[in-house]
Amino acid sequence: MAKKQPSTYEVFVNAMSAKEKKAFEKEYKDLVLSEMIIAAMEQDDISVRRLAHEAGVSPTIVQKMRTKGTKKNITMQSFIKVLNVLGCSLVIEKNGTRFPINVSHM
């Protein structure tokens, strides 16, 4: 069986220094979180103001969640409130074991 060729992404990331890789991974995680929030809002056809109102947070908090790189000052409580309104679930995974977190009562 032929050895699997690395993807372009794998080649790109493996060529980075440890410092560059750490920065890239942080930015990538920020982008993914922003894109997931935007996609959930679009799917539910919900505006920033309406989501903020229903979650009991300020529109600025929701906008920070939607904008890559500005999530540093968002509390876990605000994040969970927004997830709850969007009907999203939160899962923590460690070593392949998944631990779902019930956010509906938070």
Distances (CA, A) of 92 to 7, 56, 84, 101, 103: 27, 24, 16, 7, 12
pLDDT of residue 104: 63
pTM of the entire predicted model: 0.68
In a domain, 9, yes or no: no
How many Cβ atoms sit within 10 Å of the Cβ of residue 57?
Answer: 21
pLDDT digits (tens, 9 = 90+) for 40-96: 999 999 999 999 999 999 999 999 888 866 556 788 888 889 988 999 888 888 898
In a domain, 67, yes or no: yes
In a domain, 7, yes or no: no
How many domains does the structure of the chain reveal? 1
pLDDT of residue 77: 87
In a domain, 2, yes or no: no
CATH number at residue 73: 1.10.260.40
Domain span including residue 85: 17-101
Alpha-carbon gap, residue 93 to 82, rounded angstroms: 21
In a domain, 4, yes or no: no
